[in-house]
Amino acid sequence: MDMQANTGLLEPASMQALDWVPAMVWVADLDGKCRYTNQAYRDFTGMDLQTCLGDGWLASLHPDDVNAWPEHVSQAIRTQTPFTLDCRLRRRDGRYRWYMKHGKPFRDVAGRPIGLIGCCWDVTSQKQALDALNQATEKHRDVLGNLKQAVSVIEDFVRTDDSPAGYSSDNRLTPRQREILQLIARGYATREIGAQLHVSVKTVESHRAQLMQRLNIHDVAGLTRFAIRVGMITPDS
C-alpha cells in the first residue's frame, strides 16, 4: 500500500518507522482529518487504516467526547501550539478506556503548517484513582455534615421537650415521604436513601424538597428535629 498516497504528509519510510513505535501514534491534516494511524493505534481500536482515514477514526471516540475534537484541532492549527485532550477510546472488544491525546502541529521543509502529529497514553488508572478520591471526599463531607446535624438536633432536643400532638398521623406526608424523612433523620446520605429505596437520587431530592415545603422546614437538621418530636425516631436511633 502506498502510504504517501494515503497521508500526503509524511514519507512512506516515516510511516513504517511509526509502525514500530509501541505508543499509539496518529497524523491529521489541517482540518483535523485522519491521514494515518500506526499499528499500535489500529491494534487497539480494531480499525484498519482505510477505516480510520478522514473522519472514520472518530467512530472510536466516545459519543460524549467527539464534539471536543474539532475545537482543539482548530485552536492548535490557528495558534500553532500543542494541545492535550482527555477522551475515551473504544477498544476492539467494545470497552472504553481513558486516553490522554496529545497533538502537535508540524510543518513542511519550507516551514508551512501542514498538519498535526500526536500520541495517545492510557490514563484509565489515574482517572479511576481520581474518581475514587472524589467519592471519598464527598463521603467525608456527608459524614461531617451528619455529625453537625446530629449535634444540632441533640442540643435542640435537650433545650425543648414540646412534642406537637397529632403530627405522627399528619396527612400532609405520603408514606414514601415518611420513609424518606425517617432515613434523613437517621443520617443517611441522599445516595444511600436512593439505594435503600431503589429510587434515583433526583427522586429523593424531589421528595426532600416537598417535605421541606409542606412542613415549612428549611434544612435537614430541621427535618431531623421534626422527626424526633413526632416520635418517628428517637435521638439515639
Domains in the chain: boundaries: 3-123, 136-229
Greatest mean pLDDT range, 6-10, 56-60, 201-205: 56-60
pLDDT of residue 147: 61
Domain 136-229 class in CATH = alpha beta
Q: Which residues contact 227 (CB under 8 A, 6 or more apart)?
A: 181, 182, 184, 185, 233
Q: Give the residue with greater pLDDT, 30 vs 137.
A: 30
Q: Which residues contact 100 (CB under 8 A, 6 or more apart)?
A: 84, 85, 86, 120, 121, 123
In total, the chain counts a number of residues equal to: 237
224, 182 Cβ separation under 8 angstroms: no
Q: What is the pLDDT of residues 70-126, one digit of tens each?
A: 888 888 888 999 999 899 999 999 999 999 999 999 888 888 888 999 999 999 888
Q: Is the predicted pLDDT of residue 42 greater than 70, yes or no? A: yes
Q: pTM value?
A: 0.52
The CATH code of domain 3-123 reads 3.30.450.20
Q: What is the pLDDT of residues 188-231, one digit of tens each?
A: 888 888 888 888 888 888 888 888 888 888 888 888 888 887 77
